[in-house]
Structure formats: structure tokens, C-alpha cells
Homo-oligomer: A and B are copies of this chain.
Amino acid sequence: MTTQLSPRRAPRQSRSQATVTAILDATAHILIEHGFAAASTNAVAERAGVSVGSLYQYFPNKDALVSAVRTRHGEQMMAVILRALTKAIDATLLDALTGLIEATVEAHRVDADLHRVLEQQLGDMDMDEHHGEYVRVMEDRIVVLLTRHRDEVTAPDLKLAAFMLLHAAHGLIHAVVLQRPKGISLKHATQEIGDMMTAYLTAPRRT
């Protein structure tokens, strides 16, 4: 999780770091504004204000470039979410869940459009080596969270419960953030998701 690629406009930043960042930003921007098909290496280079040659100095090929954008985006999202997860250590189950959901919503909002584009166009390539790991990490963390509140949770299988939580919430957050349904405020939606999760976790179970 060594995230060095993220924003950092601090004192020293090598020339090349700046160039790499510019290229990554340009790629993301074109991806968002014009889609994958328009993200030619020439277009990216031009928008980044560098030559194609320079682009290839830092990325061996186009796939690596898109991959890097995806990695950076994934790292940013994970960072936000894990921070929330850490902060929730001593909270109520509901508060913890709410915090996690809010963080995830926030993470998706950071770069909602990029997120949308990135979720597409990956099939061909390596289908994001990191994505699977992220999911696993989050499932584990949620299991830890649920374990800490074992007495309140009626669900027998915590691993299953974590899986359910994660993917139900993800589906909802996606719908809320990316489709921006009218008539439902983000705040309200977040709360409602928390309610659903809580209901699921604490509902009386059929013996």
C-alpha cells in the first residue's frame, strides 16, 4: 500500500514525478471526458503537454498506462476506506457501519466519473490485479469489525455476512453515486443503507 503516486505538491518533486503525474492526469481526464476509445497515446501525451516519446519513457505501453491510472485510483479509494475502517474501531456497530458507508460513498465521489470509466474497459487486460486483493482486504476488515460486535450480530456466518454487506452496499453506493437518482439525498441514502445493513445483521434468524 505504498502510495507515492498520490497528490503531493510538497517541496521537492522531481521533474519526472511531475511528468508522470501529468501523464496520469491527462489519461484520467481523457478517459472521463471522451472515453477509452479516445485515449490514444498521442492524445494523452498532447494533453499532458509532453511528447509521445516521453510518455513511453515512463510507461512501456498503453496498457501499463491505463493500468497505472487504475492502480492510482484504487489506491486512493482504498486509502479513504481503510482510514474510515480504522477510525471505527471503538464505535457502535451502527456508527461503524455508517462511517464505513460514508467513507465508501466519499471514495466513490472522489472521482466518480473516472470510476465509472475504469469499471468498464478492463476485461481485456489483467482485470486489475489489485482489485481482487482490495476486496479480500475489505472483507477481512469487516469480519474483524463484526467480530467485535459479535453479541449484536445474529448472522451465524460472519464471513458470509461480510460478503453480503460489502456487495450489497457497493451495489447501492454505485447506484446512488453514479446514477445520482433524483429525490434521494446522498445523506438520506447513506443512512438508509446503514439501516439495511443493520437490519440484516441484527434480524432475528430462523433457527
Interfacial residues, chain A to chain B (CB-CB below 8 A): 35-38, 116-117, 119-124, 159-160, 163-164, 166-172, 174-176, 181, 183-184, 192-193, 195-196, 198-200, 203
Contacts and interface: CB of A to CB of B under 8 A. Distances in A.
11 contacts: A116-B123, A117-B123, A119-B119, A120-B122, A159-B183, A160-B184, A163-B175, A164-B193, A168-B169, A169-B171, A196-B199
A81 B166 CA distance: 24
Nearest to A184: B160
B181 A172 contact: no
Contact of A168 (B159, B171, B181): B171
Contacts of A166: 175
A160 B193 CA distance: 11
Given A163-B184, A167-B171, A184-B160, A35 B195 contact: no
A38 B167 CA distance: 31
Copies of this protein in the complex? 4
A119 to B, nearest CB: 7
Contact of A199 (B36, B120, B123, B199): B199
Contacts of A203: 195, 198-199, 203
Residue of A35, A160, A171 ringed by the most chain B CB atoms within 10 A: A171
A196 B36 contact: no
Nearest to A132: B179
A124 B121 CA distance: 10
A123 B36 contact: yes
A35 B123 contact: yes
Contact of A196 (B35, B123, B168, B170): B168
Contact of A172 (B37, B124, B164, B184): B164
Contacts of A175: 163, 166-167, 170
Contacts of A198: 203
A88 to B, nearest CB: 21
- Please provide the 9 A-B residue pairs with the shortest distance between their CB atoms, ordered closest to farther: A171-B171, A199-B203, A35-B124, A167-B175, A168-B168, A120-B120, A196-B200, A199-B199, A35-B123
